[in-house]
Amino acid sequence: MVWLEYVACLVIIMFAGSKLSKYGDVIVKKTGLGGLWIGLVLIAVVTSAPEVAVGVSAATLVGLPDLALGALFGSCIFNLSILALLDILHGPVPILSRARLGHVTAAAMGILLLVIASGGILAGKRFPALAFGWVGISSILILILYLVGVRQIFRLWLNRSTQPPENDPPQHARIPSTSVYLKFALTAIAVVGAGIWVSFVGDKIAETTGWGAGFVGNLFLAISTSMPELVVAITALRLNAINIAIAVILGANMLDVLAITWIDLFYIKGPVLAAVSNDHIITAMVAVMMNCIVIAGLFFKQKHKFFIVSSWYSPALIGLYLFGAYALFT
């Protein structure tokens, strides 16, 4: 029965996520904002909503902070492995070679936030008093750095964006703006609801199988809550909205780490990073290395793929993801 619930959650998340790229592409055309900005903030907020919902509900309602953090960090490495799939599905040109350099800032911010979170896990065990009330200093620092990073990304986008806004195509002009925003909001509600549900399902899986909460969070919940990113990214790629596809993934990863702050606010037993296992640092460091590979791919733009169907960084991203999963399992 628990696996049927798990599949049902997946179906809901995938169905709602399949609509986000289409609505996001319409919003890009109607507002004139770039795909990078829409993907990094607007769509990423919705696609990362399951991770936030799972994290908060797993830590507060279920009482398993390890399950919460496992879902967040596991989602980060799974999201980055999606870039490898996008590269394989893309044409003969590496996908990162067609992306804007503005994504480098988002990837670098993801690295910084992951390092802060890892430091918070280590420091939380030794210095539990480093907190404001029950909220750890690391969580507050993550929030501040995220806001500064998003502001910087937006300023860089304004400075480098020299192309005029795209005209609203006829098929988009016929769609009322209020209708698009309403449908976008409804899909967000469906995704959040399924995200809360899947956190309880993950707890049942951990109990019935005997697997650890951290492993279940890093594998099953992470893959489940990352389904919107997967579906949205593939849909955006089919629409040739490459910057939206990449921005959704990198933006969702930043928001996944930011979710630690919201979890800490609701987890009143103390700093949440002090209550979790050090094993999560493995996943965080794997995510850091994967972000470094993405940055290298964005900087060193190549005209052709090395391995016919994939670029050099695709096997590296997949290999690191499998290593992270295996290390946690063992």
Mean pLDDT (whole number) for 88-104: 86
Categorize the per-residue pLDDT at 170 as very low, low, confident or very high, splitting at 50, 70 and 90: very low
- Model-level pTM? 0.80
Write the pLDDT tens digit of every residue in 5-38: 878 877 887 777 667 666 666 666 665 555 455 6
What pLDDT sits at residue 167? 45
Residues pairing with 136 in the sheet: 131
Q: Pull the structure tokens for residue 144.
A: 């501040």
- At residue 145, does pLDDT exceed 90? yes
pLDDT digits 0-9 by tens, 226-270: 777 787 788 778 878 788 888 889 988 999 999 999 999 888 888
Instruction: List Cα–Cα distances, 245 to 103, 198, 223, 255, 315, in angstroms.
Output: 11, 25, 17, 16, 19
Inform me whether the pLDDT recorded for 186 exceeds 90: no
Residue 163's pLDDT is what? 47
pLDDT at 164 exceeding the cut of 60: no
DSSP state of 272: G
Domains, the chain: 2-123+172-256+277-329 (1.20.1420.30)
Distance CA 148, CA 256 (A): 16
Identify residue 53 by its one-letter amino acid code.
A
Over residues 100-143, the pLDDT tens digits come to 887 898 899 999 999 999 999 998 777 766 777 778 889 999 99
Q: Which three-class secondary structure state does DSSP give residue 32?
A: coil
pLDDT per residue as tens digits for the range 187-204: 777 777 776 676 677 667
Mean pLDDT score of the chain, rounded to an integer? Answer: 79
**What is the reported pLDDT for 86?**
92
pLDDT of 65 over the 80 cut: yes
| Interatomic CA distance for residues 110 and 252, integer angstroms | 10
How much is the pLDDT for 160? 58
